C-alpha cells in the first residue's frame, strides 16, 4: 500500500503530505460525519484503501434486521447527509429507515454523563419517535454513542438490536488487510500516536474516558503550516 508516483504533486495540491510521510497502509475515517461528507473524495485522492464507518454499519444492520425497519441516530450533519439511508436502500430497497439526529448525546458522552436521570431524559426525548416506528435494529451512527449504549438499549427495549458502526468497521479493516497480506504477524505490541489540530489536553481527557486506558502524549499540529 505504498504511495506511488506523483506523490509530491499530490502533497502540494491536496495538503495530504502527512499521509505519505508516515507511509500508512490504510486510512480509516473513524467518524460518521466525516465518512458521510468526505469519504468519496478521500478515496479518490489517496492511493491506499480508505475505509469509512457508514457502509460497514449499514451492512451489519441490513444483515441483522428481521422486519426491515432500521433506525439511525447520529449528529445533525450525518443525518442530514442521508448517507446511511442511501446505503441501506442500495443494499435492500425493501428496507425502511428512520433517522433521528441526537446531538446532545455527544456532549453527554464527552462529559461522562452516560447514566443517570439526565441521560435517560435525553434518550427518552430523542428516541420516542423511533420507538413508535417499531424498528428492530438501531445503528449507533456516531462514535460517541456506544458510551451511551446502556441507556439507549434500556430506552429502546430488548427487541431492538444496537449496531455499533465502529465494531463493524474493525471487522472490515481486518478482512481487507488479511486479503492484501497486510496484517502484522510479528506479535509486537503496536505503538499508538495521537495527532490533533486543536485542544490536545481535552482530546487526551476524553480519549482516556473512551478507551478506559491512559493515552501517551498527544501532539498538536498547525493546519496553517501544512498549507
Active centre residues (catalytic): 31, 142
Taking the C-alpha atoms of residue 226 and residue 48, their distance in angstroms, rounded to an integer, is 21
Taking the C-alpha atoms of residue 131 and residue 102, their distance in angstroms, rounded to an integer, is 14
Burial of 41 per CB tally in 10 Å (0-12, 13-18, 19+): exposed
User: Which neighbouring-strand residues pair with 163?
Assistant: 139
Amino acid at each position: 500500500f505504498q504511495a506511488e508516483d506523483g506523490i509530491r504533486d499530490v502533497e502540494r495540491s491536496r495538503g495530504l503530505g502527512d499521509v505519505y510521510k508516515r507511509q500508512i497502509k490504510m486510512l480509516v475515517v473513524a467518524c460518521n460525519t466525516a465518512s458521510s461528507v468526505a469519504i468519496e473524495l478521500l478515496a479518490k485522492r489517496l492511493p491506499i484503501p480508505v475505509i469509512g464507518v457508514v457502509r460497514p454499519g449499514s451492512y451489519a444492520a441490513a444483515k441483522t434486521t428481521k422486519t426491515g425497519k432500521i433506525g439511525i441516530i447520529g449528529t445533525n450533519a450525518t443525518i442530514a447527509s442521508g448517507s446511511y439511508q442511501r446505503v441501506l436502500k442500495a443494499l435492500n430497497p425493501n428496507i425502511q429507515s428512520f433517522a433521528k439526529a441526537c446531538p446532545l448525546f455527544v456532549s453527554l458522552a464527552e462529559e461522562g454523563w452516560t447514566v443517570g436521570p439526565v441521560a435517560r431524559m435525553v434518550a427518552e426525548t430523542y428516541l420516542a419517535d423511533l420507538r413508535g416506528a417499531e424498528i428492530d435494529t438501531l445503528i449507533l451512527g456516531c462514535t460517541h454513542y456506544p458510551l451511551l449504549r446502556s441507556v439507549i438499549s434500556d430506552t429502546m427495549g430488548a427487541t431492538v438490536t444496537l449496531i455499533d458502526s465502529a465494531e463493524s468497521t474493525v471487522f472490515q479493516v481486518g478482512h481487507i488487510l488479511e486479503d492484501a497480506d497486510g496484517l502484522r504477524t510479528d506479535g509486537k505490541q503496536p505503538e499508538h500516536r495521537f495527532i490533533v489540530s486543536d485542544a490536545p489536553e481535552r482530546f487526551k481527557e476524553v480519549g482516556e474516558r473512551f478507551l478506559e486506558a491512559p493515552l501517551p502524549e498527544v501532539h498538536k499540529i498547525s493546519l496553517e503550516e501544512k498549507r
